Amino acid sequence: MVLKNDSLIDINELGKAISRRRKELKLSLRDVGNVTQVSASTLSRIESGKGSPDAENIARITQWLEMPVDRLMKKHPGSEVEPVVYYPHESTPEIVSAHLRADKNLSAETADALSELFRVAYSQFSGNKEK
C-alpha cells in the first residue's frame, strides 16, 4: 500500500526527522538504508519531500528513529490533540517542535516557523551547533 500526498502521515516531517537523525549520527543515506532495509533512493526522496513510502517503510524508519508513528500523523481541524510523546535521545529543539505541532491554537505554518526560530536560537545560545 502506497501512501499518497493526502495520507495521514506528514511526509515532510518524516523527511526532516530522518535528516536530523542522520546528521546527528553522521550517517549517509546508504548507511541508514543498510540499517532500516529501506533503499537510499527512497530515503532521499522522503528527505526531499517527494517520496511516498509504504506502511512497511514508515514502520522501519520510525523504528530506527525511535519515534512513535503518531508523532507523524497530520492533525485535522477539529480533531483532539493527543499528548506529545518523546524519547530521551531526542534533542530539546525536537521536543519543542513536537509540542508546537501539537498545539491546536497554532497553524502548521506557525508551528513550523516557531520551531525553526527556536532551533536557531537554541543552537546559538546553547553552543550546540544543531541544524
6 is a domain residue:
no
Give the domain-ending residue among 54, 71, 88: 71
5 is a domain residue:
no
Predicted pLDDT at 90: 74
| 3-state SS assignment for residue 7 | coil
Predicted pLDDT at 28: 95
Neighbours of 123 (CB within 10 A): 14
Is the separation of the CB atoms in 57 and 69 below 8 Å? no
Residue 66 sits in a domain whose CATH number is 1.10.260.40
Spatial distance between the Cα atoms of 19 and 67, rounded to a whole number of angstroms: 14
pLDDT band for position 4 (cuts 50, 70, 90): very low
Question: What is the domain range of residue 95?
Answer: 79-126
pLDDT digits (tens, 9 = 90+) for 35-77: 999 999 999 999 998 888 898 999 999 999 888 787 777 765 5
| 3-state SS assignment for residue 34 | helix
Predicted pLDDT at 73: 76
Predicted pLDDT at 94: 83
**Average pLDDT in the 84-112 region?**
80
Strands (DSSP E) contained in 63-109 are none
**Amino acid present at 58:** I
4 is a domain residue:
no
Considering the domain architecture, whether residues 93 and 56 belong to the same structural domain is answered as no
Considering the domain architecture, whether residues 67 and 98 belong to the same structural domain is answered as no
Considering the domain architecture, whether residues 18 and 55 belong to the same structural domain is answered as yes
Task: Give yes or no for residue 6 having a pLDDT over 50.
Answer: yes
Considering the domain architecture, whether residues 24 and 59 belong to the same structural domain is answered as yes
| 3-state SS assignment for residue 2 | strand
Domain tally for the chain? 2
